[in-house]
Amino acid sequence: MRLYVNIDHVATVRQARMTDEPDPVRAAVLAELGGADGITIHLREDRRHIQDRDVRVLMETARTVVNLELASTSEILDLACDLHPYQATLVPEKREEVTTEGGLSMTGASLDATAAAVDRLRSAGVRTALFIDPEEDALRAAEAMGVDAIELHTGEYANTEGEERACQLARLAHAADLGRTLGLDVHAGHGLTYENVAPVAAIESLEELNIGHSIVSRAIFTGMEAAVRDMAAIIHRARAAR
């Protein structure tokens, strides 16, 4: 299983003062030293954390791969096609939200916009992924679009406890299996922490986890390299124990 580390919140701290530190690109170097298999960044329309220059510099310096999260808007798509990250993960985006709140809407006009974005990215030679809820209809719509991968939204799993969490875990496992059956690579992410990641990491059909806030939070105290190493160890133990 691959661990991609989302470094957006290093940039959040920098933007709080509109200065040049802490530098998310330095955080990426340390995340890679700690064992990250890839670096994830979300270039939001409002540029509240990651800036265009961060994407450019990261693309030039990353030793692993860059997974760019983006909404299907023409300005950001132009940039993505120009910068050519290894992977682009399409996500829904609302200006007033604190963080991504759910998977892409896979019906109506939103579905058409996503399909057009996938076509553009694919013609530019970028690997495509869709951030979706773990629902059969959404998975089948993603498959019909011809994307390379889906990222299952783990937010509902992360936000529940007890029996409800067990249900959400089963829902994720079922969706992951269906994704693999449909020939898609299956990723997952959002709200995963050192405490809740193990059961998700143990889902056989998942190949990639995208984790940001929890790792950056721990990195404040332990440093980025150790924070990533700790998360990677939990994930690898969970997979070994299956």
Neighbours of 114 (CB within 10 A): 24
157 binds ligand PXP (CB under 6 A): no
Residue in 89, 114, 128, 196 binding ligand PXP, rule: CB under 6 A: 89
Q: Is 99 in the site for ligand PXP (CB under 6 A)?
A: yes
Size of site (CB under 6 A) for ligand PXP: 19
**Residue 128 found at the interface with ligand PXP (CB under 6 A):** no
**42 carries an active-site annotation:** yes
Question: For residue 22, is the peptide bond before it cis, meaning its omega torsion is within 30 degrees of 0?
Answer: yes
131 binds ligand PXP, rule: CB under 6 A:
yes
Q: Which stretches within the chain are classed as H helix?
A: 8-17, 24-33, 52-61, 74-83, 108-123, 136-145, 155-158, 162-181, 197-201, 213-222, 224-240
Other C-beta atoms lying within 10 Å of the C-beta of residue 78? 12
Cα-based distances in Å from 108 to 37, 114, 115, 149? 35, 10, 11, 21
The answer to whether residue 197 forms part of the interface with ligand PXP (CB under 6 A) is: no
Q: Which of 22, 55, 66, 69 lies at the binding interface for ligand PXP (CB under 6 A)?
A: 69
Residue 151 is inside which H or E element, if any? strand 149-153
Residue of the chain from 191, 197, 201, 228 that contacts ligand PXP (CB under 6 A): 191
> Residue 98: how many CB atoms within 10 A of its CB?
6
Binding positions for ligand PXP, 207-226, rule CB under 6 A = 210-214
Is 187 known to be catalytic?
no
- The residue from 100, 128, 196, 205 that contacts ligand PXP (CB under 6 A) is 100
Q: Does the annotation mark 69 as catalytic? A: yes
Render the burial of 13-50: b for 16+ CB within 10 Å, e for the rest: bbeeeeeeebebbebbbbbbebbbbbbbbbbbeeeebb
The stretch near ligand PXP (CB under 6 A) out of 15-23, 57-65, 136-144, 186-194 is 186-194
Given the residues 32, 69, 93, 156, the one annotated as active site: 69
Q: Which residues bind ligand PXP (CB under 6 A)?
A: 6, 8, 42, 69, 89, 91, 99-100, 131, 151, 189-192, 210-214
